Structure 1
Amino acid sequence: MSARDGATATAADDQVRMYGGWRLRRGIGLWGLDAASTTVVLACALVPLLLTAISPLVGAISAAPAMFVASVTAVRVGGVPLGVHVRRRVTWGRSSRAGRSSRRYGPNAASTAAAWPAPLGKLQMVEAQGAKGTYAVVRDLDLGLLTVPIRCAASSAWLVERDQADGWVGAWHAWLASLGYAPSVRWVSVVVETAPEPGTALRDEIAAREAPSSPRDARSLLKELVRRSPAAAAHVATWVCVTVDPTGTDPRRRPRRTGTAADAVQDLPELDRLISGLESSLAGCGVTVLGRADATQLLGVVADAYDPAMRGRRSTVLPATRRTASRLRTWDDGAPVAVEESWDHLRHDSGISVSWGWREAPRAQVTSDVLSRLHSPGRHPRRVALLYRPLPAADAARLLEAEVNAADFREAMRRAQRRDETARDLADREQARKAAREEASGAGVVLVSIYVTSTVTDPALLPDAVAEVEARADQSRIRLRRLYGGQAVGFATTLPLGLHPVAMTDRPRRGRRSRG
């Protein structure tokens, strides 16, 4: 999804400000196909004709496979080419037969098993020392990328004036646009985690502060409030994860894929300076920066995601339990015990999760709180990850000009074929030209994607959790697609670890064969 991060805002002072500018990337293609699919379809039509000129028998024999290849390329099911569905099913069947969809981890696993399930098996974590203290850095061993998770407290747009919320959106747009001039920043992921509050934190806090000499009525009132608080309270956490490429500032450098994560951090002395600058710029975006996450905080989030039954109980676990709050210091301490991936869900320790990906953005202009329903707490734990890949300023201009040229090419082909222009073609061409004009005026261009994961501890509650997420997506005017055959990737993407599904395809083949 190609988007201009809220750059289009049309409103007078006495009207509600509206935002838009999301547009699906479209290359030069015919019949609604992209360039690669168009080339395959044209080749399937031309090759039998050329072979027929040489030998009618050979041409007739080649017609059947050519029609099959053209069909699986051009026919779409749910907006996805049929060939992608077939390839996904074949890959999934091969992985299931090889036993890679179900695996046990941790101390009870076989000695040859990896500590983490894919795609987390190629990550490492180290605590780096910065100007503001110690913080956690996640390193991708295959790609050589470093991710710094930043803890934030987001302000609710429902509790402030609309003008102030619009100012936050404008500041966020400026923050994203500035990333186009930071060559070392590969992408930024914003993870919003919500869950019903179990009430144990409040109970432990009240119990620690309760004085034996306090009035009995006051103690009774506090106990009643603690008993009723889980029904009304909710846990909300916001993470801004910045993924940095150490070779971004110097193209001659090669990413280090050997050694420890500590060596990688030592090779990037400007990491603390870069993150400090980005943190200071976030102050005007409607969030309060709480600081960079340390190892215990980051591993606690990951451990709660895989084992939701232990949420809020890390400090009071039994000695025989494998994970305790004091032991969540190393990377392997937060690893799950067992993970089993199915076609449409992921089973992990005490939870079952379902993940979705962004299929279509709002077609009409929307207000600044369009995603509030999707982010707000519900009956089940949920994580929403917004991934922003900023385009360098020079590449953004070339990309938008190519989009305009592709739209003009499709218009010329329509006229040559004497077809009527559809409303969608007209709107898409106008949107491409408008995006190019706004980029020329200083707007930034980012590639945006959204991933959502909902988790339950009881399999009977899974249909209710699925219905809740899909209903909230409709209220947010976006369309989600269930990640069939890719639940493990969707689950890992919504963790504050800086993973991006597009970058996973760039991993070396040896990295993609990690167990899980």
Structure 2
Amino acid sequence: MTESHEVPVRFARLPRRGLLLGLSTPRVACLAASLALLIPSVFLTGVAGALLTLPLWLTVGSAAVARWHRRPIIEWAPTVGHFVQRRLAGQTRFRARVDRPRPTGTLALPGDAAAMRFVIDTDTRRAMLHDPHAKTLTAVACVRHPAFVLLSTDEQARRVCGWSRALAHLATTGSGSRVQVLEISIPDGGHGINNWWAAHRASRANPWVTAQYDELVATVVPASATHRTLVALSIDTRSSHSSSRAHGRGLTAAAALLQQEMASLTASLRAADLRVESWLGEHELAATFRTAYQPGFETGDHPAQSLERAGPVSMDEQWDHLHHDNGYSTVLWISEWPRVDAPPSFLHTLIFQQGVRQTVSITYEPVPADEAMRDIRRARVEYATDAHQKAKLGMISDLADSVEARDVTDRERSLVAGHADIRFTGLITLTATTLADLEAAAAETARAATQCGCETRRLYGQQARAFTAAALPIARKVSP
């Protein structure tokens, strides 16, 4: 009898480094401004001057200390200012102009994603998305895989190692690759189960067996959902310029290089027992976009879709949610991952929620070794400086500071050992047909994330940009 070995997963803490004593640059500037108002008034007019200017320096100082949604108020200033500016300029409201068709080859998406273009490969009919601002070219694959939680522990460990090797290979290609994995969960009302049972039910079968299957189907149908896994692969056309000279120049050369990366990724996923069913063409990718913006689109019988008309008809961005077409959406950021040993299937409770329409998006971005080493050295200097300053002031160092410093040391040790350094960001998009259902889904998702050992935060003032990066398979760089 063989002994099974489970590979635990543990993540580092979210870094909270600052300019001085763990305080961020805006908080230090705010406190300095408060002292700049208080000290001259005390020296010039004494206590009376301090009391006279109390509303000014107390308000400025409180902005650096008081918190709203677990963040200092001063750190909300850029987000609030940007949102107000876009609201005044009318950029939070989008309406499709039927009388002004989109230029050929562009996507009908709102916001800064409107500049994205698509290219169709003439041989394979695969669709590639080109972002002229970010200088990226992206292709999307539909991946099939067995139920991970039903596999043995050894088999789970083997597949996790295969996936890690696939990411490590992307980090060594030098093409500036970025990978986005989307797990789309759509409550389907049992259409798939009922259709399968109607097609396979035998009229001459044993009545007892038929009755048992009918009872099973009736029990399972209310909690059934359709799950779909997409993998978006993006390359940086600027960093891949030297590698694509053999194929010419421009977008044609970048497309040829992306084809090579797609073949390489397909082979890497096959080694991890992940089967690439197909690389999406225009119609499949357009249907994916319409499903994200229009709840219920996936259950209808629709003609072939075009990427030029795959965007929303209308969209209104609010402070904490979006209203698009016939649905409401909000985006949550996974701010903390499990900091204790967790099994590889720790996200099972979050992904398989009953009755929640959601898209879990994880974006992986390899970091060049020299850039990673510079960031590690900078972090080590900042932690050492903070510890020295706290010792001079007689302050006691927090345990969280030592844990974060140890995480940096572990990261450096892995990098020196030859492992790749990868940044990753997790976002959750929730969609419902009413605002009340959306709030209920957000509360349920927060509880499910807690059970998985994760913490989630709703993104405020940037829902439109976050929705584009989290709900659509375009592998955009995200910075919550």
Question: C-alpha distance in 1, partners of 2:171/2:54?
Answer: 48
Measure the CA separation in 2 of the matches of 1:343 and 1:473.
23
Q: Is the 8 A contact 1:144 1:245 kept in 2?
A: yes
CA distance in structure 1 between the partners assigned to 2:184 and 2:132 by the alignment: 26
Residue in structure 2 matching 1:33, options 19, 23, 38 = 23
- For 1:184, the equivalent position in structure 2 comes to 175
Aligned partner of 1:123 in structure 2 is 116
Pick aligned residue for 1:305 from 283, 292, 312: 292
* Change in CA separation of 1:395 and 1:97 when aligned onto 2, cut-off 3 Å: closer
Distance 1:205 1:296 in 2: 25
SS where residue 494 of structure 1 aligns?
A: helix
Residue 380 (structure 2) aligned to one of 380, 393, 404: 404
Asked if 1:373 is matched to 2:349, the reply is: yes
- The answer (yes or no) to whether the contact 1:30–1:38 under 8 Å persists in 2 is no
- Which secondary structure does the structure 2 equivalent of 1:146 belong to? strand
Does the 8 Å CA contact 1:241/1:496 hold for their aligned counterparts? no
Tell me: CA distance 1:418–1:128, structure 2 relative to 1, closer, same or farther (3 Å).
same
CA contact (8 A) 1:150 1:290 kept: yes
> Structure 1: which amino acid aligns with 2:341?
Q
2:93 is equivalent to residue 102 of structure 1: yes
**Counterpart for residue 237 of structure 1:** 228
Alignment of 1:7-406 (within 5 A): 16-27=6-17, 29-34=19-24, 36-37=25-26, 40=29, 43-44=32-33, 56=44, 69=60, 71-73=62-64, 75-107=66-98, 115-129=108-122, 133-198=124-189, 230-250=221-241, 264-313=251-300, 315=301, 324-326=302-304, 328=305, 330-406=306-382
Q: Tell me if the contact between 1:184 and 1:245 (Cα under 8 Å) persists in the aligned partners.
A: yes
Q: In structure 1, give the amino acid aligned to 2:294.
A: D
Report what 1:320 is aligned to. Answer: none
CA 1:372–1:201 in structure 2 vs 1: closer, same or farther (change >3 Å)? closer
Note the alpha carbon deviations across 1:257-277, whole angstroms, 9 max, x for none.
xxxxx9724554222112211
Kindly tell me: are residues 103 and 388 of structure 1, through their superposed partners in 2, closer, same or farther at Cα, counting changes over 3 Å?
Answer: same
Give the conservation status (yes or no) of the 8 Å contact 1:101–1:340.
yes
Query: 3-state SS of the aligned residue for 1:451?
Result: strand
CA contact (8 A) 1:138 1:497 kept: no
Offset of residue 224 of structure 1: 6.9
Cα distance change, pair 342–41 in 1 and its aligned pair in 2 (3 A):
closer
Letter in 2 for 1:500: R
Does the 8 A contact of 2:12 with 2:404 survive in 1?
no
How far residue 473 of structure 1 moved from its aligned partner, in angstroms, is: 0.9
Structure 1 residue 357: Cα displacement:
1.1
CA drift of 1:93 comes to 3.3
SS in 2 for 1:137: strand
TM-score by length of 1: 0.78
Partner SS state of residue 398, structure 1: helix
What SS does the corresponding residue of 1:399 show, helix, strand or coil? helix
Question: Secondary structure of 2:261's partner?
Answer: helix
Aligned residue type for 1:40: A
Q: Which runs of 5+ in 1 are unaligned?
A: 1-12, 254-261, 316-323, 506-516
Inter-CA distance 310–408: structure 2 relative to 1 (3 Å threshold): same
Contact 1:18 1:368 in 2 (8 A): yes
Q: Which runs of 5+ in 2 are unaligned?
A: none
Letter in 1 for 2:296: A
- What amino acid does structure 2 have at the position aligned with 1:325? P
Contact 2:5/2:153 (<8 A) preserved:
no
Tell me the CA shift for residue 102 of structure 1.
Answer: 2.6
Cα displacement string for residues 382-436 of structure 1 (whole angstroms, at most 9, x for unaligned residues): 1010011210122222222322222222222222222222221222222221221
TM-superposed deviation, 1:474: 0.9
Please show how residues 445-456 of structure 1 align to structure 2 within 5 Å: 445-456=421-432
Contact 2:333–2:428, Cα closer than 8 Å, also in 1: yes
Q: Could you tell which deviates more after superposition, 437-446 or 68-77?
A: 68-77
Letter in 1 for 2:251: A
Q: Report SS of the residue matched to 1:134.
A: coil
Q: 1:40 to 1:469 in 2, by over 3 A?
A: same
Distance 1:63 1:446, change over 3 A: farther
Which shifted more, 394-403 or 442-451? 394-403
Q: Quick one: distance in 2 between partners of 1:492 and 1:116?
A: 9
Contact map agreement 1:198 1:311 (CA 8 A) in 2: no
Instruction: Please give the alpha-carbon distance, in whole angstroms, between the structure 2 residues aligned to 1:178 and 1:33.
Output: 37
Could you tell me whether the CA contact under 8 Å between 2:294 and 2:312 is conserved in 1?
yes
CA distance in 1 between partners of 2:271 and 2:66 (Å)? 47
**Structure 1 range deviating more: 462-471 or 100-109:** 100-109
Q: Distance in 2 between matches of 1:226 and 1:426?
A: 53
- How far the C-alpha of 1:28 sits from its partner, in A, is 5.4
Q: What is the TM-score with the length of structure 2 in the denominator?
A: 0.83
> What is the DSSP-based 3-state SS (H/G/I as helix, E as strand, rest coil) of the residue aligned with 2:256?
coil
- When residues 70 and 278 of structure 1 are mapped into structure 2, their CA distance, relative to the original with a 3 A threshold, is farther
Corresponding residue for residue 424 of structure 1:
400
- In structure 1, C-alpha distance between the alignment counterparts of 2:64 and 2:77, rounded to whole Å: 11
AA partner of residue 438 (structure 1)? S
Q: Which amino acid aligns with 1:121?
A: A
Give the superposition deviation at 1:201. 6.2
Moved more, 355-364 or 226-235: 226-235
C-alpha displacement of 1:440: 1.1
The RMSD of aligned alpha carbons is: 3.9
**TM-fit CA distance, 1:195:** 0.9
With over 3 angstroms needed to count, the CA separation of the structure-2 counterparts of 1:371 and 1:395, relative to structure 1, is: same
Q: Kindly indicate whether the alpha-carbon contact (under 8 Å) linking 2:138 and 2:235 is maintained by their aligned counterparts in 1.
A: yes
Matched, 1:487 2:466: no
Specify the code of the residue in structure 2 equivalent to 1:91.
Answer: H
Write out per-residue CA displacement over residues 159-192 of structure 1, whole angstroms, 9 at most, x where no aligned residue.
Answer: 1111221222222223223333223234211111
